[in-house]
Amino acid sequence: MIRAFAAGVASLLATLLVASVVIFAAMQVLPGDPAQVMLGVNARPDTLAALREQLGLDQPLAVRYWTWVSGLLTGNPGVSHTYAVPVSDLIAARLGVSLPLAALALALAVAIGLPLGMWAAARRGRAVDRGVLIVAQLGIAVPNFWLAMLLVLLFAVTLRWLPPGGFPGWDAGAGPALLALVLPAVALALPQSAILAQVMRQSLVDVLAQDFVRTARAKGLTRGQALRRHALRNAFIPILSVLGLQFPFLLAGTIIIENVFFLPGIGRLVFQAVNQRDLIVVQSVVMLLVAIVAVVNLLVGLAYAAVDPRVRRAA
């Protein structure tokens, strides 16, 4: 367990180091001049040069890379070109939207998908099962941004139950803030929950067919007891890996959905920063996203170990 953790962390750090080089290099090949973007069409060359100097863009690559990476380590990768505030503040504020959104979506997906999958598995082969399978097929196929569109039309424009988008900020109170996240989270969660339901059903059906479930029944456990005490935990193992896989999708989905609902999250930030060539922000956000995915992967690995003694003891 400790060893697995240590190995995981080591490979995580290696991943992040390589990622930082790749990302930094990618920024250098982005065409477009940050200064020009900021100052617009009437700017004169000397004005642009002055700005570039102010932004530190005239320094050698290695110096800029080092400044950035060492800044990352201390938690302050630099100052945004356009906003002129520390990148860390900028990101922290945006995470305040993106993380709750992703978490809410994940929670919703789990809360909808898993019970649905269990229900279908418990009644496998019957009408319920087929119904769930068909609904899941539909759910998987729906583009989330399209769903978002329809949701806005229905719940915000027509029924006016929920705000059509935007984010009032947490200081406006948790109520309005959460309300603003409901539609985006639903749009994100529904397709994911369809996947989860499908995986849950299949995994549970597989487990229920295994001998140890029969053994449990032979001990006198009822169907429900066997399902709860023996099948669920085993069925959860594939779910874990699916959750790990879904996370990057969710993240990508968040970026798109934030644009549909004009939520001031990480996704909007990165889009905007790319358009304005706020390189320091772009590279820091990308780095952050890569780190999040890598950390989630590590956590999934550890969760595996927590759930499955075969992995735990072998590691």
Q: Does 141 bind other proteins (CB under 8 A)?
A: yes
Q: Which of residues 43-72 bind other proteins (CB under 8 A)?
A: 43-44, 46-47, 50-51, 53-54
Task: Give the footprint of other proteins on residues 237-266 (CB under 8 A).
Answer: 238-239, 241-242, 245, 248, 251-252, 255-256, 259-265
Q: Which is nearer to other proteins, 64 or 230 (CB)?
A: 230
CA gap 154, 150 in Å, rounded:
6
- Burial pattern 156-193, b for ≥16 Cβ within 10 A else e, equals beeeeebbbbebeeeeeeeeebeebbbbbbbbbbbbbb
According to CB under 8 A, which one of 216, 280, 303, 305 is a site residue for other proteins? 216
Distance in Å, CB of 305 to other proteins, minimum:
12
- Minimum CB separation of residue 216 from other proteins in Å reads 7
Measured between alpha carbons, how far is 90 from 268 in angstroms, rounded to an integer? Answer: 12
Q: Restricting to residues 148-167, name those near other proteins by CB under 8 A.
A: 149-150, 152-153, 156-157, 160, 163-167
Q: Rounded to 10 degrees, what is the CA torsion of 196, 198, 201, 203?
A: -80
* 82 forms part of the interface with other proteins (CB under 8 A): yes
Contact with other proteins (CB under 8 A) among 70, 107, 130, 228:
130
Provide the mask over 94-113, with x wherever binding to other proteins is found by CB under 8 A and - wherever it is not.
Answer: x--x----------------
Q: Is the dihedral of CA 170, 174, 177, 178 positive or negative?
A: positive
Q: Of 128, 180, 166, 195, which Cα lies nearest the Cα of 260?
A: 166
Q: How far apart are CA 315 and CA 233, in angstroms?
A: 20
